[in-house]
Amino acid sequence: MARFILRRLLGLLPTLLVIIVISFFVIRLAPGSPFMTERGVPPEVLADLKAKYGFDQPLPTQLLRYLGNLAHGDLGLSTKYPQRTVNEIIADGFPATLLLGTAALLWALLLGVGAGIVGAVRQNTAWDYGFMAAAMVGISLPTFVLGPLLILLFALTLYVLPPAGWGSLRHVVLPALTLGTVYAAYLARLTRGSMLEVVRADFVRTARAKGLSEPAIVLHHMLRAGLLPVVTFLGPAIANLLVGSVVVEKIFATPGIGPYFVDAAFNRDYFLVMGIVVLDSVFLLIMNLLVDVAYGLLDPRIRFE
């Protein structure tokens, strides 16, 4: 397994490089400039700013310079916040984003996998229909609609949770529910569908014939055999959850990296946009690698070689 992981890690580097190069040129080709203001900037000041950030060089030279700095862990200077580096901005917002994403992931796993198990075990019953109908609603309801509805219910009607802000675990509940519910809905349908494929398999009948309890059969046999599609979905889902949701963090005024990303896009803050794109890409590639490793652990028939 160690050789497999090492080969995959080395194989991720060209993919990450392609993502960085494409993102670099797409961002630079977008209309606008990081130094555009309503009053305008004097030409001599504009020339100094371009020289400071290296924008006076040809694009290929800028790309090579950026890749060289990136190899040393330097994500560059922010043009919107000239006194702060991109590393500092991401380090400042990432803890809140990580906490929110982790809480949303736990909620999605608890609700989604649990509902999917019940739906598969109690197929074509009221429990099954109820959970799958709720899952369809969760998939169809955007976060920018669900978030205000939760604020209206829990913050402005029941007065049990704060509507926005950050500072305690109570502030994490509503944004985590908003962010994790849609993933819980997908997990519920995936878990139910994958478990229905094995619910009547021979090894399940054998386990029942041996006298194993129904919870043991569900958890140790059916769930493990039916988890592969769920694990496939969880790879990119976890990456997206941990990097955060722009909409959710904006709605609940969460001091994560989501609001910085929105502001950077509007202000053409090239280095900050690139820094967040690199962070998201690294998480996504690593999670896909962990998914491949999990395949071999869940299904002995899969060989890493």
- 61-81 tens-digit pLDDT: 999 999 999 999 999 888 888
Residue 180: inside a domain: yes
User: What domain count does the chain have?
Assistant: 1
> Who has greater pLDDT, 106 or 195?
106
The answer to whether position 245 is within a domain reads yes
Three-state SS at 88: helix
Span 12-28, pLDDT tens digits: 889 999 999 999 998 88
CA-CA distance, 194 to 132, in Å (whole number)?
14
Answer whether residue 90 is part of any domain: no
Residue 210 phi/psi, 5-degree rounding, is -75, -10
> Domain of 197: which CATH number?
1.10.3720.10
For the chain, how far is it from start to end, CA to CA, in angstroms?
8
Give residue 107's domain range.
100-256
pTM: 0.84
The answer to the question of residue 269 being in a domain is no
Any domain includes 199: yes
Give the dihedral sign, CA 17/19/24/26: positive
Residue 209 falls inside a structural domain? yes
